[in-house]
Structure 1
Amino acid sequence: MTIHRRTIIGAAVAAAAIHARPASAAEVTLRYAGTLPTSHHNAIGQQRLADRVKELTNGEVEIQVYPAGQLYGARDIPTAVVSGGVDMGHNLTSVWSTDAVAEIPDLPFLFADAAHAERCWEPAGPLHRGFAAHVERRRMKLIHTMFFGSLFDFGNNGRLIREPADLRGMKIRGYGRLSAEGLRALGASPIVMSPGEMYLGIQRGTIDGAITGVTSLESRKIWEVVKHATITGAAFGVMAVNISMARWNALRPAHQEALMKAGEEVYRWAAQESGRRDVHSTQFLIDKGIETLVLSAEQKATWAQAFAPAAAAWESRASAEAKQLVEEVRALRRAA
């Protein structure tokens, strides 16, 4: 075979390879870490964001989704995002930072209901604005939030928790500083452990129970190792989806716009889905034979009084900015 003939054949093979490539080959790939089981609506929200961004960018941006702690544990994700170990991640706001602004969703009974929380966290709302500014100072960009739903709900093996006094002497898993202060105010001993450790901790008797969201009592199968559940609705969990500022700045404006648009759509979906899932998971516990109590309005008022020391502790360390945000949240509640 002559050199000329080999050249023609080589060129033909190369041309065929080029035409065989997908027409929408991604020019940007982002890795997105989460920790919730694939059945949880926040993990589904991860995939919804990926699918919508791919659609909006005609396949130019691919988000590779890693739920269920496949890449990092919950408390490792913030460092991984900032350092470049992963491009994006989601976490409860109070896991991204221990600053008082990040703890606002954990303030006991701050939100009247899910509709009130939605107004506060929508892209133009005070809490979205405040948290976005906070994480930007930490070299991250807030893409959107997702509602986790009801939080500070109990699963335990000791007794049904009807009132704060029932918690005295119990070792209960918490998830952050304010939740630990809340448990102490209620008379329990807080034990901080990652979400993935709750099941074995309860099963082995290391802890008597755990606070988490009612959806996690179902999706993390905590119902298998507890006899009682109390749905307090004391806090409203919010998952923040952040990308490193360095990675964000490297994106083309059109890709940035697609991420934000898709993020707002997922936010709206999650706001509705979280409420539906809270109701479903509560009924799921009842159907599984778990003795389950949902606090009434009168019971919530009693619990709110017991939480007062934790609220005061937050107030003592909160900046003027954080306090102003809480006032805006309360104003929206009064205006409803």
Structure 2
Amino acid sequence: MKKWMKLITFLIVSTFLLAACNTEEPETKAVTGSGDSDSYEETTIRLAYNLPQDHHIAKGIEQFAKDVTEKSDGAIKVQVYPAGQLLTDKDMNQSILSGGVEMGVNSSTLWASTVPAMGIFDVPYIFTTYEEAGEAINGEFGDKLRSAMEEKGAKVLMFADYGYAQFANNKRPLESPSDFKGLKIRSIGDIPSEMIKAYGASPVFMGGGEVYMALQRNTVDGATSGTTAMVQRKYDEVAKYLTINNYAYLEFILAVNQDYWNGLPEKSQQLLTETAKETEDWIRQQAKSEDETTAKQLEEKGMEVYVVPEEDLPEWKEAAKPAWDAFTKNSGDLGKELLEIVDQQ
């Protein structure tokens, strides 16, 4: 009888143990997204950029990373490496193309060495308003640039508007192209250098962090940059004159390694694309606001500001024609197509 009782007890205990085991959740790497019954596949994205963290593009990128992580409930982790912590701007593009980093932000000027048509944003007086630039980027113009980048191995996730480029100098007010004659001007790329030469000045290449000292020591007479950067780098302390002529609408690109992108689930791609679009729109609004605010700040700090009248801009554009010629020569058929699209707007 005791043997039968032991056997019955064993069977009851075994049954409870089996039932308990069957209620355990299986291990998984899928995480449920907010407000969605489906789940996101876990991945970690390294995102590098070189701009100062208080720049409006940097603020947008930081928010983009935070939003993606939160919307995926932590499944898609975006690790941000700001202000050149991981890569220099010179190393950024190759690292993205080779897969050394999944995502990175760099200027369209530097991407022009890989896709020459990206130099379109440096061509003088292409876009006269922020709205014009946004319309082009969101249409056929932007699609052609995205396709050209994908052919090289990088997907454009976002066009981040830096704002318009202007001129600061120590010698005299620059009220016409002829006023540039004999000056040494820090340039930001090959196309702007062609314009500077066409205006009669000598372009000088140097990093943004070197300009303050160069102006202070008279190594250069002036420099071109956005007014946001001029405020951040305290140009008002070492330069007297500011000319607002909105000659180039500077862009930064948030690019993703194409192979990495192709390996992401469609759901993850959709989340990244939608969040990038929201961020792109915010950055464009900030670019306009920052340009206006920082130009006023420079004037308040003592710089003498000259705004080129709209009726004078055709003279500045005509004098810059060699820069247009240099772009079409380097960018081939795609460059010509982009110029035609802009002319039709």
Per the normalisation by structure 2, the TM-score is: 0.84
Taking only the aligned residue pairs, the percentage that are identical comes to 33
Matched, 1:88 2:126: no
Superposed CA deviations along residues 225-265 of structure 1, whole A, max 9, x for unmatched, are: 22211121011111111011122223222211111111111
Contact map agreement 2:185 2:203 (CA 8 A) in 1: yes
For residue 28 of structure 1, the aligned residue among 43, 53, 62 is 43
Give the 3-state SS of the residue equivalent to 2:70 in structure 1: helix
For residue 138 of structure 1, the aligned residue among 147, 152, 177 is 152
- Structure 2 gaps of 5+ residues are 1-23, 34-39
* Aligned counterpart, 1:207: 220
Matched, 1:302 2:315: yes
Matched, 1:128 2:142: yes
For residues 110 and 235 of structure 1, the distance between their equivalents in structure 2, rounded to whole angstroms, comes to 7
For residue 64 of structure 2, the aligned residue among 45, 49, 55 is 49
Given residue 97 of structure 1, which amino acid in structure 2 is its aligned partner?
A
Contact map agreement 1:74 1:194 (CA 8 A) in 2: no
Deviation at 1:131, TM superposition (A): 1.4
* Aligned counterpart, 2:80: 65
* Aligned counterpart, 2:274: 261
For residues 197 and 252 of structure 1, the distance between their equivalents in structure 2, rounded to whole angstroms, comes to 43
Superposition RMSD in Å: 2.2
Given residue 148 of structure 1, which amino acid in structure 2 is its aligned partner?
Y
For residues 213 and 44 of structure 2, the distance between their equivalents in structure 1, rounded to whole angstroms, comes to 36
Give the 3-state SS of the residue equivalent to 1:182 in structure 2: helix
For residues 275 and 341 of structure 2, the distance between their equivalents in structure 1, rounded to whole angstroms, comes to 27
Contact map agreement 1:155 1:223 (CA 8 A) in 2: no
Q: Which runs of 4+ in 1 moved over 6 A?
A: 22-26
Counterparts of residues 1-336 of structure 1 (less than 5 Å): 27-98=42-113, 99-122=115-138, 125-151=139-165, 153-332=166-345
Deviation at 1:38, TM superposition (A): 1.4
Given residue 168 of structure 1, which amino acid in structure 2 is its aligned partner?
K
- Structure 1 gaps of 5+ residues are 1-14
Residues paired across the two proteins, number: 310
For residues 169 and 191 of structure 1, the distance between their equivalents in structure 2, rounded to whole angstroms, comes to 13
Contact map agreement 1:150 1:213 (CA 8 A) in 2: yes
Superposed CA deviations along residues 270-303 of structure 1, whole A, max 9, x for unmatched, are: 1111111110011010111111112110232221
Contact map agreement 2:186 2:206 (CA 8 A) in 1: yes
Per the normalisation by structure 1, the TM-score is: 0.86
Superposed CA deviations along residues 26-62 of structure 1, whole A, max 9, x for unmatched, are: 9322121112111211111111211221133222112
Give the 3-state SS of the residue equivalent to 1:233 in structure 2: strand
Given residue 146 of structure 2, which amino acid in structure 1 is its aligned partner?
A
Superposed CA deviations along residues 296-336 of structure 1, whole A, max 9, x for unmatched, are: 1023222111101211222233322221122112212xxxx
For residues 112 and 125 of structure 2, the distance between their equivalents in structure 1, rounded to whole angstroms, comes to 21
User: Between Structure 1 and Structure 2, whose CA radius of gyration is higher?
Assistant: 2
Given residue 178 of structure 2, which amino acid in structure 1 is its aligned partner?
A
Given residue 124 of structure 2, which amino acid in structure 1 is its aligned partner?
P
Superposed CA deviations along residues 157-193 of structure 1, whole A, max 9, x for unmatched, are: 2222221122112111111111111111111111122
Contact map agreement 1:26 1:62 (CA 8 A) in 2: no
Deviation at 1:23, TM superposition (A): 9.9
For residues 221 and 322 of structure 2, the distance between their equivalents in structure 1, rounded to whole angstroms, comes to 23
Given residue 224 of structure 1, which amino acid in structure 2 is its aligned partner?
E
For residues 72 and 158 of structure 1, the distance between their equivalents in structure 2, rounded to whole angstroms, comes to 36
For residues 322 and 315 of structure 2, the distance between their equivalents in structure 1, rounded to whole angstroms, comes to 14
Of residues 290-299 and 80-89 in structure 1, the stretch that sits farther from structure 2 once superposed is 80-89
Deviation at 1:69, TM superposition (A): 2.0
Superposed CA deviations along residues 95-135 of structure 1, whole A, max 9, x for unmatched, are: 1123441011111111121111110012xx12321111111
For residues 72 and 32 of structure 2, the distance between their equivalents in structure 1, rounded to whole angstroms, comes to 13
Given residue 276 of structure 1, which amino acid in structure 2 is its aligned partner?
S
Of residues 214-223 and 257-266 in structure 1, the stretch that sits farther from structure 2 once superposed is 214-223
